[in-house]
Structure 1
Amino acid sequence: MPENRVTSRRGMLFGTAAVSAGALLTACTSNDPKKTENTASSQPAAADDKPGTPVTIGFAGPQADHGWLNAINQNAKSRAKKYSEVTLEITEGSNDTAAQIGQVQTLINKKVDVLVILPADGKALTQVGLQAMKAGIPVINLDRVFASPQAYRCWIGGDNYGMGFNAGTYIGQQLKDKPNAKVIELAGIDNLELTKQRTQGFDDALKNFPNIKKVARQAADFTVESGQAKMAQLLQAQSQFDALWNHDDDQGVGALRAIAQAGRKDFLMVGGAGAKSAMDAIKADNSVLKATVLYPPTMSASAIDLARALGQKKGVAGMSELEIPSSITLYSAVVTKDNIEQYLPTGFA
């Protein structure tokens, strides 16, 4: 899961976002339960659907070695195909910062109209973002933020603090009447800022429920294997608890395997990100997994909408301003059995 920025976290409360994605972008998550396509290509456009000035968008992301990152790439491609006047120049993607810098520089040399960049490392790619902006190519900075606001025209990404806060609030609501309730946390990679933000949000939410205590926390690596190994350790150390929050649905696949192997059914689990496997489990309602908190990969589709609007000198539908915003933080919705049909089409493999 991508690393996010500290400055975008402004103490968002449950039910709010720094900028309402629903008001800003109709491109994000479709709310039509009848839709079955799990890419953003079938969703309404952000600016307008009428073909305008031809725009060439350069897209540079990291290597798609995680379900969420693969969904980022697929949503960007699908969204670009929606517009007959948009040409998408997409790089192969790399987790090597030097390689990604070279890929972005190639797009700059091709003189694309707008760049969409999800950097492998925001700090390391700041200079190439500045290079593009100085060359007159506006940059949409996707999720992992550059170190300087001068390196991008608009930032759009997820809400890691809100993700943790909403997970904690949901668990708190489920356990509010249980005396001396215990919860545990299966976090992501501890040296990532996003992991710290998710944990902080979770802890802050639990402060609103004095009957609940977090008794254990273990960090994994966003992989199935690490999720299974770290969850097995937690289960051995904690003979009894009431709820688990897992930061990432990919590692959650492994966590669920460990839980099944241990024969444990005595607690509820909340996942994170919104993978299709988690959505399917929530709908089936035959495991401890009862909810997942979204970190929408549709943000890349919205980034294409924003890039198109920039290239055509348009604003965003639903807003009065002539320019696109400078920053958009997406909301981390909690998906449960009660609203699963609404969000199921957005689940990613």
Structure 2
Amino acid sequence: MKIGTHFAALGAVALVAAPAAAADTITIGITQNNVGVDSYQTTYERAFIEAADADPDVETVVLDAGGDVARQIGQIQDLIQQKVDAIIIWPTNGQAVVPAVRQADRAGIPVVITNSQIAEAGFDFIKSFSGPNNIVQGEYSAQMMCDALGGKGQIVQISGQPGYTTAIERQKGFEDELAKSCPGVTIMETQPGDWNREKSQRVMENFLTKYDNIDGVYSGDDNMGVGALNAAKASGRADGMVFIGATNFAVGYEAMGRGEYWGSVYQSPVEDAKNALATAKAIVEGEEVPFLNYFDTPKITKDNMSEFEKPVF
């Protein structure tokens, strides 16, 4: 019998008490990074809840760390005490959560990491990673930047949250691929935008003040990329400047349609959420799943955007 999805209040560590589930029900707990920081994570949570509610065999405990590492560690420990059948973690920090993940492993509870990878030190304590290949996404963005600039130019980079695995991997994939395939394109400076549009706009304003010539901007996601675009438009310098991002947000899709945004990487939070839930359920039921269970994230530009639905986030 399906019981329902239960929540802990944002900022609280203790779980909301849930009625006992039926014997054949799988209980899966999830602790997310920071639902309120952007619309991708908000959409992910909604899709996760909808997928769980549609499955009569699954009971879920849905938690959000609010970007706080200590809170997330506490949530993992509470899920262990709750003796859930599996734990899904969207890490606030891939290194800091390793000890708590080790505790779950010692308790015999399988762990699935979703969206952003855990540090390699934790690989022995998880069953699977479910999400995008962020190294490849960075490589795709570098290839698009190279194509857009014809192999030469000077660019700036706005990275994600420092210490966050997705930000680290996308930056590494972008920089390594650019150096290998497009040495004529130089990264003048990199500053974090923390996945935040307003902060990224301020970062770009500083870049525009500091550099007289900027041919392109690479941002770790479209939310930050549109912040950079807004700054360039406000300064009157957006024309001819190439904007490349990742995780194609609705605002990036719309800017692409207007010809203001050159390219991105298409990533669905709905597929991300469904894949994580299905992976955790399969593991509990004894099925074999890939350790790196990636879903597809293709390149998207104005030339092929008609093949993709406008993102809902």
TM-score under structure 1 length normalisation: 0.72
Counterpart selection for 2:289 from 324, 340, 347:
324
Conserved in 1, the CA contact under 8 Å of 2:92 and 2:164?
Answer: no
Matched, 1:154 2:120: no
Distance apart, 1:333 and its partner CA:
2.1
Report the counterpart of residue 171 of structure 1 in structure 2.
145
Alignment of 1:22-41 (within 5 A): none
SS in 1 for 2:117: coil
Alignment of 1:281-296 (within 5 A): 281-282=255-256, 284-287=257-260, 289-294=261-266, 296=268
Q: CA 1:212–1:122 in 2, change beyond 3 Å: closer, same or farther?
A: closer
Tell me the CA shift for residue 210 of structure 1. 4.5
Deviation at 1:196, TM superposition (A): 4.1
Matched, 1:128 2:93: no
2:172 counterpart of 1:200? yes
Unaligned runs of 5+ in 1: 1-52, 315-322
What SS does the corresponding residue of 2:218 show, helix, strand or coil?
A: strand
1:92 Cα deviation after fit: 4.0
Q: What secondary structure is seen at the aligned counterpart in 2 of 1:109?
A: helix
- Structure 1 runs of 4+ aligned residues shifted over 6 Å read none
The alpha carbon displacement at 1:149 in A equals 2.3
Aligned pair 1:336/2:301, yes or no?
yes
Could you say if the C-alpha distance between residues 56 and 342 of structure 1 is closer, same or farther in structure 2, counting changes exceeding 3 Å? Answer: farther
Residue 141 (structure 1) aligned with residue 113 (structure 2): yes
CA RMSD of aligned residues (A): 2.5
1:1-349 to 2 correspondences below 5 Å: 54-67=25-38, 68-142=40-114, 143-145=116-118, 147-176=121-150, 180-192=152-164, 194-206=166-178, 207-264=180-237, 265-282=239-256, 284-287=257-260, 289-294=261-266, 296-297=268-269, 298-314=271-287, 323-345=288-310, 347-349=311-313
- Is the CA contact (8 Å cut-off) linking 1:121 and 1:144 kept in structure 2? no
Structure 2 contact 131–276 (Cα < 8 Å) conserved: no
Q: 1:57 to 1:341 in 2, by over 3 A?
A: farther
User: How far does the alpha carbon of each residue in 1:295-341 deviate from its partner, in whole angstroms, 9 at most, with x for none?
Assistant: 55332320101112122233xxxxxxxx1122224444221123324
**CA–CA distance in structure 1, aligned partners of residues 272 and 58 of structure 2:** 18
CA separation in 1, counterparts of 2:70 and 2:189? 38
* Contact 2:94-2:165 within 8 A present in 1 as well: no
Contact 1:218–1:234 (Cα < 8 Å) also in 2: no
Higher helix share: 2
Output the CA distance in 2 between the equivalents of 1:65 and 1:223: 11
Q: Percent identity?
A: 25
Aligned letter for 2:124? Answer: Q
CA shift, 1:83, in A, is: 1.7
Aligned residues, how many? 284
Q: CA deviation at 1:64?
A: 1.3
Alignment deviations for residues 123-146 of structure 1 (CA, whole Å, 9 cap, x no partner)? 332233222223222111222315
> Are the aligned partners of 2:158 and 2:224 in contact in 1 as well (CA < 8 Å)?
no
Give the letter for the 1:325 counterpart.
P
CA offsets, 1:52-100, max 9 Å, x none? x532211111231322332332232122233222222212434333332
Q: Which has the higher contact order (CA 8 A, sep 6+)?
A: 1
Q: CA deviation at 1:227?
A: 1.0
| CA distance in structure 1 between the partners assigned to 2:194 and 2:43 by the alignment | 19
Once residues 218 and 138 of structure 1 are traced to their aligned partners in structure 2, the CA distance between those partners, rounded to angstroms, is: 36
Query: How big is the shift at 1:203?
Result: 2.7
Aligned mates of 1:251, 1:296 — CA distance in 2: 17
The answer for unaligned runs of 5 or more in structure 2 is 1-23
Task: Tell me, yes or no, if the aligned pair for 2:130 and 2:279 is still in contact at 8 Å.
Answer: no
Q: Which letter maps to 1:173?
A: D
Q: CA deviation at 1:211?
A: 4.0
Quick one: which amino acid aligns to residue 110 of structure 2? P
